[in-house]
Chains A and B, each alone.
Chain A
Amino acid sequence: AQSVSQHNHHVILSEAASLELGCNYSYGGTVNLFWYVQYPGQHLQLLLKYFSGDPLVKGIKGFEAEFIKSKFSFNLRKPSVQWSDTAEYFCAVRRMTTDSWGKLQFGAGTQVVVTP
């Protein structure tokens, strides 16, 4: 069965530190890849997405992610975090198959806490 793995469940770091969150998936076909963020008590918001082309994608709020096809990975990065980046981060995969209909498979999420 397809799965999406996020490497860390909980990350604590100081403001201005760099952040990297790992995401791997197990599906071998064509995929769309996403990172969503959920601020405390809020809904999921799209940070960035990869459909095709340049494997380095830039998103909102200074986030970027790199798709490495050979490693089935889509890691999220931010060079310098702020306190406002405290949130839950979800990696999601959409299989481009005839029966997936846009269904997203989510990773378990990573809780990121940024301390002042």
Chain B
Amino acid sequence: DTAVSQTPKYLVTQMGNDKSIKCEQNLGHDTMYWYKQDSKKFLKIMFSYNNKELIINETVPNRFSPKSPDKAHLNLHINSLELGDSAVYFCASSQGGRRIKAEAFFGQGTRLTVV
């Protein structure tokens, strides 16, 4: 029933490791996003995909590589994890056409802790 689901919910890993976070939405939306929420709760967009095509890349380090196998899935792979990558990562989806009025629906978040 969950509209936007992410896995895992918690991820603790060591510096230098590579990890992935998965996201799926069953709302039929054509646009998906990754947002990062830092320790001060500030939310900032990282990436957006529309119909499997990357359309927004907000100057995120290239250690972060999103992949969208289809428009219902958007995964985030992170290479060579650093302490500063510790944050909560939220996946979201919306009907994201350029001028379509629509809200975004968010997943539960993945709390990544790099030690």
- Across the interface, do B108 and A42 meet the contact criterion of CB distance under 8 Å? yes
- Across the interface, do B43 and A106 meet the contact criterion of CB distance under 8 Å? yes
* Complex interface: stretch among A68-76, A77-85, A95-103: A95-103
User: 1/0 per residue B31-61: CB within 8 Å of A?
Assistant: 1010100001111110010100001100000
* Complex interface: stretch among B14-22, B68-76, B77-85, B96-104: B96-104
Given A44-B106, A102-B100, A90–B43 Cβ distance below 8 Å? yes
B66 interface residue, CB < 8 Å from A?
Answer: no
A residues with a Cβ closer than 8 A to B are 32, 34, 36, 38, 42-46, 49, 51-52, 88, 90, 96-106, 108-109, 111
Extra contacts, 20 of them, besides A101-B48, A102-B94 (Cβ < 8 A), are A32-B101, A32-B102, A43-B107, A43-B109, A44-B90, A90-B43, A96-B101, A98-B98, A101-B50, A101-B55, A101-B56, A101-B96, A102-B48, A102-B96, A102-B104, A103-B33, A103-B56, A104-B35, A104-B45, A106-B43
